[in-house]
Every structure is written in structure tokens, then in C-alpha cells.
Homo-oligomer: A and B are copies of this chain.
Amino acid sequence: MPAYTIGLDYGTNSVRAIIVNVANGKEVGTHVWNYAHGESGVILSRDPNLARQHPEDYVKGAETTIKGAIRDAQNHLKSFKPSQVIGIGVDTTGSTPLPVDKSGRPLAFQKAFATNPAAMAWLWKDHTSVEEAVEITALAKEKRPEYLAKCGGAYSSEWFFSKILHCLRVAPKVFNAAHSWVEIADWIPAMLTGTEAPEKLTVGVCAAGHKAMYNDAWGGYPDAEFLSALDPKLGALRERLQDKAHTIDKAVGGLTAEWAEKTGLNEGIPVAVGAFDAHLGGVGAGIAPGALVKIIGTSTCDMMVAPMRKELPDIPGLCGIVPGSILPKYYGLEAGQSAVGDIFNWFVNYIQPQGERAGSHEALSKEAAKIAPGASGLLALDWNNGNRTILVDQRLTGLLIGQTLYTTPAEIYRALIEATAFGALTIINRFEEYGVKVSKVVNCGGIAEKNPLVMQIYADVTGRTMYVSRSSQTCALGAAIAGAVVAGKKAGGYPSIAAAQKAMTGLKKQVYTPNPKAKAVYAELYPLYRTLHDAFGTEAWEGNLYGVMKDLLAIRAKARR
């Protein structure tokens, strides 16, 4: 009798549950539920930087999607029974911290705070905490440079402590009412297993390590002295945080009787430590030493792992280097591009050349495919949303060069794709410059699946074969894999992530190999991209270009005031 696991995938606008056959990774049931609160699940305000989620949606989302996925499985597979589900894994967005009371209950569940955005989950893309991020970065630079070395040299406004510190300052009532703060990647598994209370809570190293400066090397989370220098109250919070963070092959507990009853699943089936969507996506795409997994969406997350037995240097510009954050016993290395699909979407949705039909992704891709590499004379920088890796600089903007009086939309579209490919190559080069060899590139996400032009250009620009992950839900599949490992071999699962990946992941047959002629042209274009990249992106480059984008942003800010 086949065993199944559930992967719960909490996204920005919706939650998805999939039920997966543990033997082969095949999806037998799925259900998506759009969050009920806010605009497409996101609570907004007049401040365009604010983005929150209501934790009620996390609870309702688990119930609705698990039940829905079970129904879906039963529809397709008469023999399927919920009792065949042997484990659950959870992936979420992040850093998305949530203030909770002494029992681990979200403050937003209290009547007094039910509509207070500060008491909700602070969604990853909430950018209200820019000043706090600057402050934390400056303090760490001075006092704890080792903290920054593991997260690309700058602490982000999107991350755990920036958000908590901002809450402390702008919503002290909420901060004071909160016993502690929990990443939703940790809170959702805790909710399913009744382990929300601080003394029972299990936190994952993925969120803690990448977003909260957690590292065993310095005793876990940042020390109280450091946090107190930001604010004594933040220092006081330190002792209410967990001492130890865990990898995804550990169970946080068993499914509660209440959840078993609600869903029809067996009570006590293990729920794995939660992790971020992209990281479990890496697992679902078969990440292993030497394999770069690129989750290509609106932005990208580029992940690698490297054995912990070997010393790894700090790699400048990486978003994070965290022991065990992706696979147990491996450093998880995270890089990323701030915008990829978002740049194409900008061109299609905002510029929409020649109207809706001619300006669609499909039409532009079709035209762009006819253009030979180099034939447009265009070159772009992929910085419309800043640069995550390797420059770690949000205050960068787009650039397009080479326009004539005959430049066509398809040429620009292609130049934008090429720009993201050059950005991808820059990340690959950075890994290799620091001894992390990239021997295989596996792509996931809608663009990888649906746009062969993008994949071919990536192959031609990087000079490497592009593989595409077999599953189109790699994040949820990664969560299901964690579920299969915590279930254990005896219950029908696996003894290790590697064993589970071997059985449950795979690649599509369609691969994209570099075209030698195109590769040669891009080998000429990339140095020009690098010249622009370094001239506008680094202070050290001569010629005074570094200030141009910054000055334009400063003038813009004044003009919009």
C-alpha cells in the first residue's frame, strides 16, 4: 500500500497543499486556497512599504487545502485514503515574523489587536523597516562584522530584527504585548502539532540562519548585548528566543488530535521543521553538491549546498551562508536576483509595446526568438529592482544602452532577458570564484517551464546546459520530501533527505544546451555588461558613474515629497 506525504506551501497570495506518492514523488492531489484577508492576501495601508498577513489565513489555509487535496486525491485515485499520509512538511515565505503571546498564540487572534497591522505577520516584502536595517547593519559592521559576513554584508529591511525593531518604535503597544516573535515557517508546523508554546517551540535554521543572524559559531541568535545596543527591549527579547535551530529532517511534533479530526489524517503523524519556500524548492529540485538550483519567478533564488566538512570562505555578495539551511550537514548558500520575471512583467504590463496583443509575453518572446544574439546592439542592466547578488544594493536602477531610431520592442524584451542571464552568470561566477563549483544548473518555476527562449538564452550566456525540474511545484514537493524523512523508513518514508530526493525528484527530458555561435557572441557581450555593472554598481570603478543612480534616486525622492 503506497505511502503519501503532504507538502504545505504558504505563498504570498495563497496556500497550496499537495499530496505526493512517497515512492516516486508523483502528485496525486492538490488544492490551492487564496487568503481571505487584504488585497490578494496582503494587508496594505497608505504607506506603500507596508505588507502584512493575517495569521487566521494560515490556520484556515491549512484546513482548507489539506481537505481539498484529500478530496482531489480521492477523485483521481479511488483507492486513496487519508490514513496513508505518513508525514507533513511546510514551506513558507520569509522572513515573515509574527508577534505571539506567552502561549505562542498570535496577538492578532486577540480582539484588541485583530485589525492592527503591527500585530499581524510582517510579510517578507514589507519595507517599512529600512531605517532599522541601516542601523543594524551599521552596528554589526562596527561590533559584529562576522554577522554580516554570512548574509552578504548588509542586514535587510525585509528581515526579522529590522521588523521587530521597527514595531518596537512605531507600535510599542504591540511590541510590549508580544511575548516573542516567531517566523511563520516555525509557527505553522507548531500550530499543526500544538507546540507553539515557547517551551515546546522548534525553530528552523533556514529562517533563523538566513534572516536572523543565527549561527552556532557564535551561540545561535545575536547576543543580548548586541541587541540591547539597538534597544534594551530588543536585548530582553533575546532570552525568549530559542537556543537552538534545527534542520528539516527533524520533526517538530505529531499532528494534534484536533487537526487529525478536522482533516481526516492520522493523529500523531510527524510534521517536519519548516523552511522557506525557495529552500525547500531547492530540495524538491534535487539540490546536491555541485548543483545550482534556480527558482525563477518574479525574482530568483539561486541555491547551492557545500559540505560542512570543508572550510568555506565568506563569499561576498551572497544573501546567506548557513549550515544546514537547505540540507542537513551542508552549508546552504543563497544568492538571488532582485527581479527577473518582474522585469519582463514590467515591460509587458507597464510599457506594453504596441498594445495588449503585440505586447504579451508570448508575442514578444516569439519575435525575440528570431533576433540573433548581438544583432539588436542593445545591452541592459537587470537592476529595475536593485541588485541582490553580488552587489547587495537596493539603490540601483535599470539601464538600457544601444537604442537607435529603429530599436524594436522585441529587441528590448530580448535585451532584458539577456540582462537577467548576465546577472545569472555573475552569480555562477561568484560561486566558482570562491571554490563552489557549479557542475549543473537546475531551473524551477513558471518561466523555466514555459519560456524556452529564456532557458536557451541562459544556456547560451552561461555556456552551460539548463535543466528544468520535473515537478512544477518544487517548493511543495520539497516540503513533502521533508515530511517523508520525518516519517522515517519504518513508516514507509526515508532515512535521509538524499534518499528521499533520489526517489521523489527528477528532471524534465527537455534540456537546453549552449549553441556555440550564440555562446561566442555572448562571450563578447558579457565583458560589456560587466563594465556597466562595475561602473554603475561599485564605488571603486573609475569615472564617477557610481553616483549617477544614487543621485537620480535622491532627486526623485525630493521631487516626490
Contact = CB atoms under 8 A, between A and B. Distances in A.
Contacts of A408: 350
Interface string A482-520: 000000000000000000000000000000000000000
Contacts of A359: 354-355
A376 B521 contact: no
A374 B559 contact: yes
Interface stretch (A75-83, A462-470, A548-556): A548-556
Given A351-B351, A521-B555, A560-B372, A346 B407 contact: yes
A378 B555 CA distance: 10
A176 interface: no
Contacts of A185: none
A528 interface: yes
Given A355-B354, A409-B350, A535-B545, A555 B404 contact: no
Interface in A249-293: none
Given A377-B552, A378-B552, A521-B559, A397 B402 contact: yes
Contact of A384 (B399, B403, B536, B555): B403
Contacts of A541: 543
Contacts of A346: 403-407
Contact of A356 (B355, B376, B384, B548): B355
Interface string A355-387: 110010000000000001111111100001100
Contacts of A524: 551, 555
Interface in A525-554: 525, 528, 531-532, 535-536, 541-545, 547-549, 551-553
A375 B559 contact: yes
A374 B404 CA distance: 24
Interface string A92-132: 00000000000000000000000000000000000000000
Contacts of A521: 555, 558-559
Contacts of A553: 377, 402
A374 B558 contact: yes
Nearest to A517: B559
A343 interface: yes
A555 B525 contact: yes
A350 B560 contact: no
Contact of A351 (B356, B399, B409, B531): B409
A376 B556 contact: yes
A398 interface: yes
Contacts of A544: 531, 535, 542-543
A402 B555 CA distance: 11
B399 A403 contact: yes
A174 interface: no
A400 B399 contact: yes
B374 A405 contact: no
A339 interface: yes
A359 B350 CA distance: 12
A488 to B, nearest CB: 45
A293 to B, nearest CB: 24
Given A352-B354, A353-B353, A542-B542, A399 B398 contact: no
Contacts of A379: 548, 552
A342 interface: yes
A398 B404 contact: yes
Contacts of A549: 401-402
A251 to B, nearest CB: 40
Residue from A403, A406, A545, A558 having most chain B Cβ neighbours under 10 A: A403
Interface string A34-74: 00000000000000000000000000000000000000000
B398 A398 contact: no
Interface string A161-182: 0000000000000000000000
A384 B355 contact: no
Contact of A377 (B372, B375, B555): B555
Interface string A396-429: 0111111111111100100000000000000000
Contacts of A350: 405-409
Contacts of A558: 374, 521
B542 A377 contact: no
Contacts of A547: 531
Contact of A528 (B345, B402, B548): B548
A420 to B, nearest CB: 13
14 contacts: A342-B405, A351-B353, A354-B359, A355-B355, A355-B356, A373-B559, A375-B560, A377-B555, A378-B552, A379-B548, A398-B407, A400-B403, A524-B555, A542-B544
Interface of A: 339, 342-343, 345-346, 350-356, 359, 372-379, 384-385, 397-409, 412, 521, 524-525, 528, 531-532, 535-536, 541-545, 547-549, 551-553, 555-556, 558-560
Q: Which 8 pairs across A and B sit closest by C-beta, in order of nearness?
A: A543-B543, A398-B403, A355-B355, A377-B556, A374-B559, A375-B559, A542-B542, A374-B555
